[in-house]
Structure 1
């Protein structure tokens, strides 16, 4: 009897200790997950979808291994054009590896580009159905990428990809959001100078943001490495559009290395403007340059 009482007391103490420390453990686990030191627990639905064996491997700390195999399987779905299956596979992959930006990026690309374009080109479907599926997968890919940014808020590559999505004229663009994404990417301090220029290009296409775009263009132009053809041309356009702007000759001298290069850059800018950048003043500048450079 005495031994049974002691055993009961020991069990009671253990139960009480577990009850007391459980909230602390839960809070500590959440802190580690938030800090990125620990992966979040697998949801029941994820365990069911990946199967008992894979779930056991994942719970054993080898989530990356399971995610790799699922990624290989998703490539097979890509080859077979099984887009709904591919979406489900990438949902599982990122549930296992939410802090691996690559999976978010490539999954969004498959949805918004590969799947969307494939559906648009399926001639066996009615035109309205093709367009609806195209739009659905563009938006699906965009939403997937935005989820990735929530899980990786400081990753400049995902922010840059989001800027590219919103800035693509064939993907239902929103230049305000494109500019905001590129700005965030640039301000992480880890992005390329390309992201700063892309921020400018989106800002210049956003409604009523040309003044901000001009200030940014001037700032970027001050760095010689940023003086690519498109930036030089856009700076000219933004300067030319200002009230009381200097003469065409003055702006060309300010924005381009010389008149011959200005002619080449502006002509290419006008002819290959798939990105829908503003072109005010370009025709006038080309006429002026053609007349000036045609003189013996």
Structure 2
């Protein structure tokens, strides 16, 4: 057992009084958060200990835990939060960093996406979007706002440049895509169908078992945003050819749009259809808060800047195909 796992097990046992015996790190280098799946004496994964590092404001943590509970009571397959032995929503380690404990959800990450699972995943996204606006919670974050690249492009660019950490050539490659996005900025800014959006809806944040979606995880990005921005990101990530290969598979894109439309409160409007491709581009632009958190955690920013660039290049090459597929799928 590594020192990091051992410390997580000890903290969970002491603060949350659970019989944790071991664990495994989750998330890899793609996130600044620290996440440990804790196991019991039989080696079964039963809990997830999360150390939020991107946004550790107490008010944000309270909102996220409240959202977990509110979503669960309305039938969403999200993890139940656990309280500490003294009734607190989270605990702090010796370095003053917060840790949350959630129940472990069954299922495997959706690494290989089939049309059937893509449709079911999109239906779950629609379920999330149908949650009532008022959940009895004080909404906090996330930061920056979903439309920062549309309303404050130069300020957002400078914020990214300030933390680019020797990767300015990679960052500069985004300029052409940002310029193209702003051809569609007015219509995207007018998107007003605000919902509870996941913010990071992709296969590794979905669990499945026996042909069903059994879990929606990693709700760190939850917030109020236009549904088309959430759907655009989900469609890109679920319909791509594979990790690092963002060529869209037509049958998977059709499945995502079909599953969403069949369960959404209302069909996509013509304006939303037109902004689906630009919203995909928007979803791949750098997030200065994410870059800052990665840098603070000691991660190299190169992969975090290079992966979205690959997506943007593939999107640009498929523009005509995507427009035709979206028109065809939403006309059904």
Tell me which interval the TM-score lies in, with the shorter structure as reference length. Answer: under 0.3
Answer with 1 or 2: which has the greater Rg. 1
- Between structures 1 and 2, the one with greater helix share: 1
State TM-score, norm by structure 1. Answer: 0.26
Instruction: Give TM-score scaled by structure 2 length.
Output: 0.24
The structure with the greater share of residues assigned to strand is 2
Higher RCO (Cα < 8 Å, 6 or more apart): 2
